[in-house]
């Protein structure tokens, strides 16, 4: 095996989750309200999810035993600030215990401050686009300072701001009777996008003041837009407001989170459907593991000098052997990028657990299966395999 694929000792090796998708009972969040609004998009509510609000020690025990050294999870604003200006000491203490619990088990915690869900009151006052949202976000971070001060190395301010801005556009369309594009995602809502960029800058400043040792960044959804011959300019114009402005906003950060699952083909008139003959995953996305290599290269080009961390990569499949195949190829493309000198500092697989996939449970991204009635956890073969790859410190060769 070539030493090209050998990882430095400091390389982060983890799995990711988010609070709303795993904790259960996040009843004070905008997502819970959305889940119960009767909208067609929602097939089932998050309910008890994986009950990780109570069972996080078991999740962490499993990850550490499997060979992971890092765990990315999020803390829930709706629990920490249930009403404007009213803070829950118990919720802050809960997340502080999670950070301490991770460290005790040999897992370095990466903490996400906002992963799609926000307090219901925050959305009711107009969400990110409303005046003062960055100020409110900073105030919540200050309230959570005890969590950050308890041994967190990495903080992700906002997960996939580009998707948050897309979801704002989707909600506008659904509530105003407007139409969604037949293919691809709508254009991110511009006011929301700008507000998120401001909120990120403000959050970085706030975290640095509260806990100067913490390395801050945010994680952007990479769609790996690939133009057909002749559609290069169309693809670039399409990508700019959907992705590039968020990557550019990461210039100068301590790190940039790369999240990649698939690619999007772009023709002269815009997005194209997944090719007929392509394998699709449960989410309907094209099986295209090489997207990870393309994504890290694109991020490195847009935010030169900013170290990259893969904060999400994975596949929704009921066939765990496909998860191993997919991840082998994805890691192979990562090894090639590392070999070419791209500064990548870590890899977090999405997801540690089969969890609530924003509207339904069917797409199973987990390394660990969860019985949503008994909450029993069962690691899949891919979990042992990926943990062992981490222990070996050698990435697999590209398939
Ligand atoms: C990303 C989200 C994550 C999960 C994966 C499949 O867009 O950040 O919560 O839903 O996709």
The answer for residues whose C-beta is within 8 angstroms of residue 190's C-beta and 6 or more apart is: 165, 241
Strand partners, 258: 220, 310
Give how far the C-alpha of residue 132 lies from the chain's centroid of Cα atoms, to the nearest Å: 25
* 351 close to 68: Cβ distance less than 8 angstroms: no
* 304 close to 268: Cβ distance less than 8 angstroms: no
| HSE-CB for 76 with a 13 A CA cutoff | 29
**Ligand 1 centroid distance, CA of 1 (Å):** 33
- pLDDT tens sequence for the chain (399 residues): 444 789 999 999 999 999 999 999 999 999 999 999 998 889 999 999 999 999 999 999 999 999 999 999 999 999 999 999 999 999 999 999 999 999 999 999 999 999 999 999 999 999 999 999 999 999 999 999 999 998 999 999 999 999 999 999 998 888 887 888 888 789 999 999 999 999 999 999 999 999 999 999 999 999 999 999 999 999 999 999 999 999 999 999 999 999 999 999 999 999 999 999 999 999 999 999 999 999 999 999 999 999 999 999 999 999 999 999 999 999 999 999 999 999 999 999 999 999 999 999 999 999 999 999 999 999 999 999 999 999 999 999 866
Please tell me the total number of residues recorded for the chain in this structure.
Answer: 399
> Which atom of ligand 1 is nearest to 357's Cα?
10
Q: What is the pLDDT of residue 399?
A: 60
350 lines ligand 1 (CB under 6 A): yes
What is the rounded distance in angstroms from the CA atom of residue 25 to the CA atom of residue 55?
13
What is the rounded distance in angstroms from the CA atom of residue 101 to the CA atom of residue 112?
16
* 39 close to 174: Cβ distance less than 8 angstroms: yes
**Ligand 1 centroid distance, CA of 261 (Å):** 9
Per-domain boundaries in the chain: 3-392
71 lines ligand 1 (CB under 6 A): no
163 lines ligand 1 (CB under 6 A): yes
| Atom 10 (ligand 1) nearest CA | 357
46 lines ligand 1 (CB under 6 A): no
Here the tokens at position 230 are 């002749």
Residue 383 is inside which H or E element, if any?
helix 381-392
* 210 close to 141: Cβ distance less than 8 angstroms: yes
In this structure, the number of other CB atoms found within 10 A of the CB of residue 301 comes to: 11
What is the rounded distance in angstroms from the CA atom of residue 127 to the CA atom of residue 192?
8
> Which atom of ligand 1 is nearest to 365's Cα?
6
Residue 246 is inside which H or E element, if any?
helix 245-248
Pocket test for ligand 1, best of 262, 350, 360 (most atoms within 8 A of CB): 350
In this structure, the number of other CB atoms found within 10 A of the CB of residue 284 comes to: 10
In CATH terms, 3-392 corresponds, of 3.40.630.30, 3.40.718.10, 3.20.20.80, 3.40.1010.10, to: 3.20.20.80
Cis status, amide bond into 330, omega within 30 of 0: no
């Amino acid at each position: 095996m070539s030493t090209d694929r050998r990882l430095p000792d400091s390389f982060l090796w983890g799995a990711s989750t988010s609070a709303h998708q795993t904790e259960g009972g996040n009843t004070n969040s905008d997502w819970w309200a959305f889940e119960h609004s009767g909208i067609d998009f929602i097939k089932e509510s998050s309910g008890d999810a994986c009950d990780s609000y109570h069972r996080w020690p078991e999740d962490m025990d499993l990850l550490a035993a499997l060979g992971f050294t890092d765990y990315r999870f999020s803390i829930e604003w709706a629990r920490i600030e249930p009403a404007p200006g009213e803070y829950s000491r118990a919720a802050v203490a809960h997340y502080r215990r999670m950070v301490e619990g991770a460290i005790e088990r040999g897992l370095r915690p990466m903490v996400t401050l906002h992963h799609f869900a926000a307090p219901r009151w925050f959305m009711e006052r107009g969400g990110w686009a409303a005046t003062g949202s960055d100020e409110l976000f900073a105030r919540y971070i200050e309230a959570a300072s005890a969590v950050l001060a308890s041994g967190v190395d990495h903080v992700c301010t906002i997960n996939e701001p580009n998707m948050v801005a897309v979801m704002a556009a989707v909600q506008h369309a659904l509530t105003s009777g407007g139409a969604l594009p037949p293919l691809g995602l709508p254009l991110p809502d511009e006011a929301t996008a700008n507000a998120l960029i401001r909120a990120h800058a403000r959050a970085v400043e706030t975290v640095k003041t509260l806990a100067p040792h913490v390395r801050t960044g945010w994680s952007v959804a990479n769609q790996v837009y690939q133009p057909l011959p002749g559609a290069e300019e169309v693809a670039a114009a399409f990508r700019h407001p959907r992705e590039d402005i968020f990557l550019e906003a990461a210039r100068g950060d301590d790190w940039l989170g790369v999240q990649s699952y698939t690619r999007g083909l772009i023709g002269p008139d815009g997005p194209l459907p997944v090719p007929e003959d392509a394998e699709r995953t449960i989410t309907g996305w094209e099986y295209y593991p090489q997207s990870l290599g393309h994504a890290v290269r694109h991020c490195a080009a847009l935010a030169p000098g900013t170290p990259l961390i893969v904060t999400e990569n994975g596949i929704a499949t009921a066939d765990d052997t496909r998860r191993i195949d997919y991840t082998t190829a994805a890691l192979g493309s990562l090894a090639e990028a590392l070999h070419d000198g791209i500064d990548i500092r870590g890899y977090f697989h999405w997801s540690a657990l089969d969890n609530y996939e924003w509207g339904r449970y069917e797409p199973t991204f987990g390394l660990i299966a969860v019985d949503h009635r008994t909450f029993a956890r069962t690691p899949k073969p891919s979990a042992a395999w990926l943990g062992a790859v981490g222990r070996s410190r050698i990435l697999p060769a590209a398939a």
